[in-house]
Structure 1
Amino acid sequence: MPRLLLLLVILGIAVIIYALFDCIMSRAESVRSISKPAWFFTILLVPLLGAGLWFLFGRPGRDDRPAQRQKRGPTAPDDDPQFLRDLEVRRRQEAREAEQRKRDAEERAREAEKKKNDEGTASDGKTA
């Protein structure tokens, strides 16, 4: 019997300590029901009951925890701002390259036309 009692006391102290640390580590604006300092003193002054009430009514919900929100990244590529920026940069670069290829092709066509005209004028001058 004394061993069981000792085990229950140790377990109760562990729950109280966990509740205190959980209360301390949570953000003040995400704590439910009463203020964070009030929860801290409730857990400290009314140990097991305060810890139980903290877990039931004071602890922030899962959606309120900032660490879990930060761990989740974008779920799809179109939700990722970095991906969208990279995509836009790539699109603009490809458009510039296509425009440059078009200008180069037009320049080559003009040079070929000019060369053809020069050869035609030169051949007309030789026969006359």
Structure 2
Amino acid sequence: MVRNLIFLALVALAVTVYALIECLRTPSSEVRSLPKAGWVAAIVLLPLIGAGLWFWLGRPKDNSGARPAQTRQGPTGAPDDDPEFLRNLERQRRNKAREDELRRKEAEMEARERKLREEGKPRNDEDKPHDEGGNPTEDTQRHTP
């Protein structure tokens, strides 16, 4: 019998402490029915009854006393509803596509240059043999009949 009373007293104390902490952490603007100070007094002066009334009538409708840190999100709280977030995603997508295109073109140019080197062809006129005057030599000049 004594054990049961001790157990019930501990449960009552735990519920009261939980209700008091939740009440203190809830912003005053979100407390329902009574001012926040009134709820604290009710919970402390009437431990189980005050805690029960807090859970039933006092705490915010969404049942969370403590609010997580607000993030920059749209009106519904979902990041994909935030226009700035969506613009940022689109900008990142375009930048990545641009970088991928540049890498692809660079790879094509490197492959083309490698192929030309393997074939032994010069890349451009600067790589062709020139005489002392800077003119292309006979063997590289085109002759038209």
Q: TM (normalized to structure 2)? A: 0.52
1:82 CA displacement: 2.5
Q: Which residue matches 1:15?
A: 15
CA contact (8 A) 1:43 1:54 kept: yes
Partner of 1:28: 28
Q: Higher relative contact order by CA 8 Å / sep ≥ 6: 1 or 2?
A: 1
Which structure 2 residues correspond to residues 44-59 of structure 1 after superposition, within 5 A? 44-59=44-59
Shift of 1:68: 8.4
Deviation at 1:60, TM superposition (A): 1.0
- Does structure 1 residue 67 correspond to structure 2 residue 68? yes
Partner of 1:3: 3
Unaligned residue ranges in structure 2 (runs of 5+): 99-145
- Alpha-carbon distance between aligned partners in 1 of 2:58 and 2:24, rounded to the nearest angstrom: 12
- Report % sequence identity: 36
Q: 1:64 to 1:55 in 2, by over 3 A?
A: closer
Q: How many residues align?
A: 91
SS at structure 2 position matched to 1:67: coil
C-alpha distance in 2, partners of 1:56/1:69?
26
Q: Which one is further off, 54-63 or 81-90? A: 81-90
Which one of the candidate residues 82, 87, 91 is aligned to 1:84?
Answer: 87
Residue 55 of structure 1: CA displacement? 0.4
In the TM superposition, residue 79 of structure 1 has moved relative to its aligned partner by 3.8
1:85, distance to aligned residue in structure 2 (A): 3.5
Deviation digits for residues 30-85 of structure 1, max 9, x if unmatched? 000010011001111111110000000001121876428759532x4x64523313
**Quick one: structure 1 residues 49 and 41, their matched pair in 2 at CA, closer, same or farther if it must change by over 3 Å?**
same
TM-score norm. by structure 1 comes to: 0.58
Which has the larger helix fraction? 1
- Indicate if the aligned counterparts of 1:63 and 1:69 stay in contact, CA closer than 8 A: no
Counterpart secondary structure, 1:55: helix
SS in 1 for 2:33: coil
Q: Which amino acid is the alignment partner of residue 82 of structure 1?
A: F
